[in-house]
Amino acid sequence: QVQLAESGGGLVQAGGSLRLACAASGIISSIRVMGWYRQGPGNQRELVASITSGGTTNYADSMQGRFTISRDNAKNTVYLQMNSLKPEDTAVYYCNADFYIGGSSGRTWGQGTQVTVSS
C-alpha cells in the first residue's frame, strides 16, 4: 500500500534548525494527506503540520511561523523545516499518510525520528 521512511532527526541547540524528510513508497497516487506528528516524553502524540495532495497546508498553532511543511512530488517526499527550535520541541517526530485505495481509506505511519533540542 504505502510505506514511509523518515530521516533528518538529531541533536541541536536551542535556536537552531533541522529539516526532517519523509519518503513515501508504494501506491503514491492513493495518498490524500501527509503530515508530521510528534510525541514528547509523557505527552500524547500531537499534530505538527499536514499537507494535502493539492498543496494545502495546516499547522498546529504553537508551530505556526517556526515550522514549514513542504513536498517534492518528483521525489515523493515531504519535508518539515524546523527553525528557532526550543527544548520543548524535543520529541519523536512521526510522518503519516492518509490514503484511499479500492474504496477504503487508511493511515500509515513511519517509524519515527528523534529530535532533541538542548538548552
Convert the pLDDT of each residue in 7-48 to its tens digit: 999 999 999 999 999 999 988 888 899 999 999 989 999 999
Over 90: is that where the pLDDT of 50 sits? yes
User: Grid coordinates representing 83?
Assistant: 527553525
Radius of gyration of the chain (CA): 14
Alpha helix stretches (DSSP H) within 1-119: none
Q: How far apart, in whole angstroms, are the C-alpha atoms of residue 92 and residue 27? A: 26
Q: What is the mean pLDDT of residues 72-86?
A: 94
Burial class (CB in 10 A: 0-12, 13-18, 19+), 35: buried
CA-angle at 69, arms to 95 and 82, nearest 5°: 90
What is the per-residue pLDDT for 27?
Answer: 85
What is the per-residue pLDDT for 29?
Answer: 84
Q: What is the mean pLDDT of residues 44-54?
A: 95
Banded pLDDT at 60 (limits 50, 70, 90): very high
What is the per-residue pLDDT for 28?
Answer: 81
Q: What is the mean pLDDT of residues 82-108?
A: 94
HSE (side-chain half, CA atoms, 13 Å) at 38: 23
Over 90: is that where the pLDDT of 1 sits? no
- The single residue listed with the C-alpha cell 524546523 is 82
Contact 72, 19 (CB under 8 A): no
